[in-house]
Amino acid sequence: MSHLPELPPEPGIPAQLAENLRSIDSELEALRAEIQAGEPQSQSGTWRGGLSRWLKRRLYRLLWWNSYQIKAAVSLIIRWTREERRSIDAFHRAVAESEGQIQNAVAEFERCIHNIETRLQAIESAQLSQTSAIERNAAVAQEALGQKFGDLDQRLQTGTAHRETLAARLSDLGSLAQQTRASLSIQDRRLAFFIEEARKRLPEPFANEDLQRIVNDHTQHQYDSIYAAFEDTFRGSREEIKARQSVYLPLLKEYAIGSPAMPVLDLGCGRGEWIELLGEQGFEARGVDSNEAMIDRCRSLGLWVEQCDALPHLRALPGTCVGAVTAFHMVEHMPFDVVLTLVDESLRVLRPGGIMILETPNPANLLVGAYTFHFDPTHLKPLPSPLLKFFVEARGFCDVHVRELHPYPEAARLPDDKGGVASRFNDCLYGPQDYAVIGRKP
């Protein structure tokens, strides 16, 4: 039997399996050699040799079955190992073919990746070129647009400045026209009054007392129209004043004031912003002012007002007839004894639970006390809030408190340093510009 060939170590066969097969081949070859070596060899032709051969043949005949079985088993084992080796060889070839296919697939994949990368690089180059062109075009367009927008903005600024100038001139002309209309209205009323008085006395001449009364009336109201124009210039617009005065609306609602049984009486109503605001909110309110021009303006708005001085009007009212007495920026125009009388009369005409509101400039603000207070030449002197609060309490009002109002905007203040010099400076110069003393009748 021929010797089995050695299995070369292949990369596709596991090393341990190849080693086991080689060991099995070695052992089977050794067994075959032993079996062949144990068969009787030819001997010499002597009688002893012949007798020995005869005895061996007889012995092997007795043992032939066992020898045959052993040979058959060895042959079967050899065939099995060969079949296994052929199977392994086939597996190795299949693995080699698979590896080749995998390598080919990997190579094809790498070629595809390379092609994709090449195309991506080309696309990126094209995109970069397009982006550069777009950026250049955008920069050119942006520069052109910027120049056009700059020209347009300059034109708009010029137009805005021109419109503002025109608006200011129109506002001035409107104020002047309104002042002229008010002055003409007053003069018409005075002339009508003078003609009516003359008609009553014709053919009798005017007495000195009549002439003196007419002159006094003219002297008393000769500056009404110019003071109305002053209010338009320095007090602020109607919308601004109404926005400021709206802080008192929750107070009126809290005390159920503003019904027909608890009306609001506004002393020194001026242009009527407070009465107009109360009417818009559904409150019952009326006003009193001595300025003819102001009264004409209020009546043109349909407001319920009466031309009269505040104190005589209060004295003419019956007791406990109103729900609130308000006076915005009026007490600083009065001597202090008149202010006390005003507080007393307000307490008299208020219903129980009614309130009084006295708003006035705040002299604790140094800019107000030393500068803006003196814009109005009819102001007498500022009233510190502790002083006015004390006298309101002393004359019989309860729950008296001070509400500080209208501080300067934050843009005018220095950065706060939490109690340092800047904080104190802000409190003195940029704090509340006004305050209100509010008291309730027991």
Q: What is the pLDDT of residues 387-432, one digit of tens each?
A: 999 999 999 999 999 999 999 998 888 887 777 888 888 889 999 9
Instruction: Classify residue 117 by burial, with Cβ atoms within 10 Å: 0-12, 13-18, 19+.
Output: exposed
What does pTM read for this prediction? 0.55
pLDDT of residue 332: 96
pLDDT of residue 258: 95
pLDDT of residue 62: 61
Whether 66 is covered by a domain: the verdict is no
Compute the distance between CA of residue 427 and CA of residue 408 in angstroms, rounded to an integer. 10
199 pLDDT above the threshold of 70: no
438 pLDDT above the threshold of 80: yes
98 pLDDT above the threshold of 90: no
Whether 299 is covered by a domain: the verdict is yes
Comparing 441 with 18, which gets the higher pLDDT? 441
Comparing 248 with 108, which gets the higher pLDDT? 248
CATH number, domain with residue 420: 3.40.50.150
209 pLDDT above the threshold of 70: no
pLDDT of residue 268: 94
Whether 107 is covered by a domain: the verdict is no
Structure tokens at 419: 């109690």
**pLDDT tens for each residue of 176-195:** 566 566 555 655 556 655 56
**Mean pLDDT over residues 79-92, rounded?**
73
**Phi, psi (5° rounding) for residue 6?**
-70, 140
Range of 318's domain? Answer: 236-440
Whether 46 is covered by a domain: the verdict is no
pLDDT of residue 259: 95
pLDDT of residue 10: 46
Q: Name the domain count of the chain.
A: 1
Neighbours of 293 (CB within 10 A): 25
pLDDT of residue 9: 47
**pLDDT tens for each residue of 301-348:** 999 999 999 999 999 999 999 999 999 999 999 999 999 999 999 999
Whether 116 is covered by a domain: the verdict is no
Whether 255 is covered by a domain: the verdict is yes
Comparing 216 with 247, which gets the higher pLDDT? 247
Whether 157 is covered by a domain: the verdict is no
Q: ∠ at Cα 351 (348, 354), nearest 5°?
A: 105
Looking at this protein, which amino acid is placed at residue 32? Answer: R
Residue 380 pLDDT grade (very low, low, confident, very high; cuts 50, 70, 90):
very high
The crossing angle, in degrees rounded to 10, of helices 385-394 and 336-349 is: 50
Residue 3 pLDDT grade (very low, low, confident, very high; cuts 50, 70, 90):
very low
Comparing 90 with 42, which gets the higher pLDDT? 90
15 pLDDT above the threshold of 60: no
Whether 366 is covered by a domain: the verdict is yes
